[in-house]
Structure 1
Amino acid sequence: MTTNTTTDVLLHKGSGLQVVVGLGQSGLSVARYLANQGYQVAVTDAQAAPSLANQLPIEIVVRQFGAIDAELLQQAARIIISPGISLATEAVAAARQANIPVVSDIQLFCEACRVPIVAITGSNAKSTVTTLVGQMAADAGVNVGVGGNIGVPALTLLDNTDMELAVLELSSFQLETVTNLGAQVATVLNMSPDHLDRHGDMLGYHQAKHRIFQGAKSVVINREDALTRPLVADNLPRVSTSIHAPDKGQYGLITDPEGQIYLAHGTERLLSADKLLIKGRHNLLNAQAALALGGLVGLPLASMLETLQQFTGLEHRCQYVASAAGIDYFNDSKGTNIGSTMAAIEGLGAVYAPKDGKLLLILGGQGKGQQFGELTPFINQYVSQVLIIGEDAQQIEQHLRAAKISDDVALHQCQTLEAAFATIQQVTKSSLSQVQAVLLSPACASFDQYSGYVARGEHFIALVNQLKVVQSTSLAVD
């Protein structure tokens, strides 16, 4: 362990020591916030030389790096833990056993925030819905702060003293240490197995997610997913979304006799689905969720519908990249769990199925304890080729085969994206190939081969662009 200074002098100055565990972006924001508030602050991180250490305020002199310092944690009045660090970490677990409070930056934010909070979580689509609600608010002239798990640490939003509304994307890791969030409106968009390696089982994951409802003044639920409903019966205003026709006051979809689909609120048709730039049934649910959340904090409907028609979606989330040799390429690198990949397969598969087209699916990475056999019905319906990459590639194939994947679906072990692209060129050369779209939707974390899903998605985009160059050069020579 490396120590920038001794702790002996500081630790006995008072009982209010705040110990920040983990020095990523959220940890840095916590350290700065607490130092500005006048607290006595110490920081510890498992890395010997955290890259953000030189950005810490100079008054924070206790910096224990190289391991999470168990002795330091035992001296804390309160521990603020970064979301990437498990509560089961030995030093943290010992501190909790000693009844030392362990909270996240989100707890500090909700205690300091004086404006309404829109709180959004879910296994999938939370970044899309958070971004969309934030844009709806901004377009309606509201001074809005958007942050949390989406990239801007929540505490940083407090720097905007004119903020009128906070829209937070919250992960299960952030929520497991939050008590009584008190959001103006809270939602769990959907629930599917994810992070079971961290939470132990689906019950632990479910309980962490549902902490978002504590103290909420209203909630939005998904009628298709019973796990999105608050466990405690109450009289809170409750608005729901669905892929089916809505009841009075609820959101859903109405299909007219000609087959045209509309976003609807009760019996009112709000917007034709073909007016949206984001495609797929999952995005129709996302649009409803944004409308419901925005409505519950008073955003005007006409303005929200205008924003919806301009919204192009997020990078690395079912993002259209290019077409090469008549095949469309989609980057869904942010699809890091099976629920997200199910939605991507179903959403895009339904676009190509009427043209007798199939998807080529790239899966794989770090599996996080998921059961990949749950993908099989979607693959059997919409996919003809599955290319498997990454650390858990063999396990993924075993799960798919055990779940009776169709004989019409070919499985290929590729290990890397480069190898996958070589295989793509081989399998799509056949005149019998039904592949009309290539979908990178790994259903896995990326850290076995990349720094994160963004790097994985950028590599995919680079390989698509490289393929286009090769093919255009080949055509020129011919």
Structure 2
Amino acid sequence: MIPVQGLAGAVVAVLGLGRSGLSAARALAAGGATPLCWDDNPAARARAEAEGLACRPLSRIEDFDEIARLVVSPGIPHLYPAPNTVVAAALEAGVPVDNDIGLFFQSFATGDWAAFDTPPRVIAVTGSNGKSTTSALIHHVLTSAGRPSQLAGNIGRGVLDIEPPQDGEVVVLELSSYQTELARSLTPDVAVFTNLSPDHLDRHAGMGGYFAAKRRLFAEGGPDRAVIGVDEAEGRFLAGQMAEGRGDDRVIRVSVTRKLTGPGWQVFARKGFLSEYRKGRQVGSIDLRGIEGLPGAHNHQNACAAYAACRGLGLAPKGIEAAFHSFAGLPHRSQTVGEARGVRFVNDSKATNVDSAAKALAAFRNIRWICGGLEKDGGLAGLGDLSASVRKAYVIGREAAGFALQLEVEAEVCGTMAVAVARAVEDAEPGDVVLLAPAAASFDQYDNFEQRGDDFVAEVARHL
């Protein structure tokens, strides 16, 4: 645990008692603060009270008379589309609002570091797609290189649940826009921006607010090194803001759409080959085509970002390449879950938006595509022409019929995962790929994308 510093003796309100909220309450108590908790869910309050944490409603301005700070869990809106009533009361009372990420950066460094040869570092990864795989891949490379490392944030453990860092340790954090937009302190040593595509637009009041939430990771603390995907206009703008000039190697630009040139530091992938250039000269390369855990151009982008972050810490290209080959990938992200009679079954349940689904579809051919769910803002226009890769779509979800009408390929309304997998198996021929890449949220039928992916895996197992 990372005990929270700077709030000893203060009463701190904690709103939301899921993983991050409970973790924050424990860390506040460990640091000498008095957490005062609330969650609308009685079961969540019962879990907190069983740990000795006090719970009390916090909906009026006068409830905050003795409270020094409000710590909010990521899923709770604080501005758009409308502030939660507790957040609104805190802001009206003039109480600062923070989250567990802000508390982490406030509390990470301690006096013990004076005895370390190498101070611990933090790599923080954000972006619309690929941040989980990029974070896990960086962690895997560091571990393979013998560097002590912990993985936390939006993946793995809560940030305040990690162990106090060792001499020379690297903490890798995956951070969502919900986490970066509210944290009062954001000071990573290396910040990574993978890409940007429309997502969570209601929460951020549009693309401008969404990008602004991501940009805070770079603007608030000024990382020593910034790894930035520049295949979108926002990434190019961000790289331009962070760099002092064309040759400023504190910024590493990353692309999977073109060769990057110039006097700076670039990492890009073309036709399955990763290249690293510095000062106009190639200094490293990796053939990504045979790496089973990183299939497709979207994973090549993840590989470039992870490579750049690790190179920024001084790791050698050959060591990074060796670690890439032993990376197994993450569940629910281009995960091969079975193969029979020449048919491959791939679970990419994490493809919860159009852009991530399009990237998953681009990684394979002869696809029997299982898709559908709770459609996000913007519709399905960003999928592009699927006729070259998709043989047929099998649509699930409560609104499967409406979803199917938007597809420009043959589509069958299946409704449930069981029916979709059964029909895809029945139709599949040797050389086909049965791919779950929903292009939609899961909440119409499942609690989360992991549960949806597990259902796919279970149905595939039944048929295999």
- TM-score over 0.5 for the pair: yes
Amino acid across the alignment from 1:318: S
Once the two structures are superposed, residues 327-371 of structure 1 have per-residue CA deviations (whole angstroms, 9 ceiling, x without a partner) of: 2111001111111111100112xxx3xxxxx21211122223242
Residue 5 of structure 1 corresponds to which residue in structure 2?
none
Quickly say closer, same or farther: Cα 1:95–1:15, change in 2 above 3 A.
farther
From 55, 67, 71, the counterpart of 1:63: 55
Residue 272 of structure 1 corresponds to which residue in structure 2?
287
**Are residue 304 (structure 1) and residue 320 (structure 2) matched?**
yes
Amino acid across the alignment from 2:259: A
1:54 Cα deviation after fit: 4.8
Residue 444 of structure 1 corresponds to which residue in structure 2?
440
**Are residue 20 (structure 1) and residue 35 (structure 2) matched?**
no
Whole-angstrom distance in 2 between the partners of 1:144 and 1:52: 34
Quickly say closer, same or farther: Cα 1:334–1:388, change in 2 above 3 A.
same
Contact kept, 8 Å, 1:254 with 1:269, in 2: the verdict is no
Whole-angstrom distance in 1 between the partners of 2:203 and 2:306: 29
Contact kept, 8 Å, 1:338 with 1:443, in 2: the verdict is yes
1:94 Cα deviation after fit: 3.1
Whole-angstrom distance in 2 between the partners of 1:346 and 1:340: 10
Residue 186 of structure 1 corresponds to which residue in structure 2?
191
Amino acid across the alignment from 1:276: I
From 97, 101, 104, the counterpart of 2:99: 104
Residue 327 of structure 1 corresponds to which residue in structure 2?
343
Whole-angstrom distance in 2 between the partners of 1:223 and 1:454: 30
1:199-218 equivalences in 2 (<5 Å): 199-213=204-218, 214-215=220-221, 216-218=223-225
**Are residue 245 (structure 1) and residue 259 (structure 2) matched?**
yes
**Are residue 232 (structure 1) and residue 241 (structure 2) matched?**
yes
1:358-397 equivalences in 2 (<5 Å): 358-377=366-385, 379-397=386-404
TM-score, normalising length: structure 2: 0.85
Once the two structures are superposed, residues 164-196 of structure 1 have per-residue CA deviations (whole angstroms, 9 ceiling, x without a partner) of: 221100001111102451211112101111112
1:118 Cα deviation after fit: 0.6
1:36 Cα deviation after fit: 0.7
Task: Count residues in correspondence.
Answer: 426
1:298 Cα deviation after fit: 2.5
TM superposition outliers: structure 1 runs of 4+ over 6 Å = none
SS across alignment from 1:77: strand
TM-score, normalising length: structure 1: 0.83
Whole-angstrom distance in 2 between the partners of 1:302 and 1:434: 37
**Are residue 30 (structure 1) and residue 24 (structure 2) matched?**
yes
1:273 Cα deviation after fit: 2.1
SS across alignment from 2:363: helix
Amino acid across the alignment from 1:131: A
1:99 Cα deviation after fit: 2.6
Contact kept, 8 Å, 1:331 with 1:461, in 2: the verdict is yes
SS across alignment from 1:49: helix
Once the two structures are superposed, residues 369-411 of structure 1 have per-residue CA deviations (whole angstroms, 9 ceiling, x without a partner) of: 242121142x23321211221134344335x25xxx2xxx212
1:124-139 equivalences in 2 (<5 Å): 124-139=129-144
Larger gyration radius, structure 1 or structure 2 = 1
SS across alignment from 2:367: strand
Contact kept, 8 Å, 1:262 with 1:269, in 2: the verdict is no
Whole-angstrom distance in 2 between the partners of 1:307 and 1:281: 19
Once the two structures are superposed, residues 148-176 of structure 1 have per-residue CA deviations (whole angstroms, 9 ceiling, x without a partner) of: 00031011124445562211000011111
Residue 118 of structure 1 corresponds to which residue in structure 2?
123
SS across alignment from 1:462: helix
SS across alignment from 2:432: strand
From 300, 305, 311, the counterpart of 1:295: 311
Residue 112 of structure 2 corresponds to which residue in structure 1?
none
Contact kept, 8 Å, 2:342 with 2:431, in 1: the verdict is no
Contact kept, 8 Å, 1:365 with 1:391, in 2: the verdict is yes
1:79 Cα deviation after fit: 0.5
Whole-angstrom distance in 2 between the partners of 1:113 and 1:222: 27
1:89 Cα deviation after fit: 1.4
Once the two structures are superposed, residues 129-164 of structure 1 have per-residue CA deviations (whole angstroms, 9 ceiling, x without a partner) of: 101111111222222121000031011124445562
Once the two structures are superposed, residues 416-463 of structure 1 have per-residue CA deviations (whole angstroms, 9 ceiling, x without a partner) of: 1012123324544xxxx7971111011222222222222211111111
Quickly say closer, same or farther: Cα 1:163–1:439, change in 2 above 3 A.
same
1:51 Cα deviation after fit: 7.3
Contact kept, 8 Å, 1:196 with 1:370, in 2: the verdict is no
Once the two structures are superposed, residues 32-52 of structure 1 have per-residue CA deviations (whole angstroms, 9 ceiling, x without a partner) of: 000011112100001012177
Contact kept, 8 Å, 2:190 with 2:309, in 1: the verdict is yes
**Are residue 411 (structure 1) and residue 411 (structure 2) matched?**
yes
Whole-angstrom distance in 2 between the partners of 1:303 and 1:375: 36
Quickly say closer, same or farther: Cα 1:233–1:288, change in 2 above 3 A.
closer
Whole-angstrom distance in 1 between the partners of 2:22 and 2:168: 22
Residue 117 of structure 2 corresponds to which residue in structure 1?
none
Whole-angstrom distance in 1 between the partners of 2:439 and 2:132: 16
1:93 Cα deviation after fit: 2.4
Whole-angstrom distance in 2 between the partners of 1:227 and 1:392: 33
CA RMSD of aligned residues (A): 2.4
Quickly say closer, same or farther: Cα 1:254–1:280, change in 2 above 3 A.
closer
Quickly say closer, same or farther: Cα 1:72–1:79, change in 2 above 3 A.
farther
Quickly say closer, same or farther: Cα 1:52–1:329, change in 2 above 3 A.
farther
Amino acid across the alignment from 2:377: G
Once the two structures are superposed, residues 15-46 of structure 1 have per-residue CA deviations (whole angstroms, 9 ceiling, x without a partner) of: 93200110011111100000011112100001
Whole-angstrom distance in 1 between the partners of 2:424 and 2:310: 42
SS across alignment from 1:446: coil
Whole-angstrom distance in 1 between the partners of 2:20 and 2:46: 11
Contact kept, 8 Å, 1:179 with 1:211, in 2: the verdict is no
1:98 Cα deviation after fit: 3.1
1:302 Cα deviation after fit: 2.6
Residue 166 of structure 1 corresponds to which residue in structure 2?
171
Once the two structures are superposed, residues 263-292 of structure 1 have per-residue CA deviations (whole angstroms, 9 ceiling, x without a partner) of: 111224522223422211111111111110
Mean Cα displacement is larger for which, 32-41 or 433-442? 433-442
Unmatched tracts of structure 2, length 5 or more: 1-7, 110-119
**Are residue 424 (structure 1) and residue 424 (structure 2) matched?**
yes
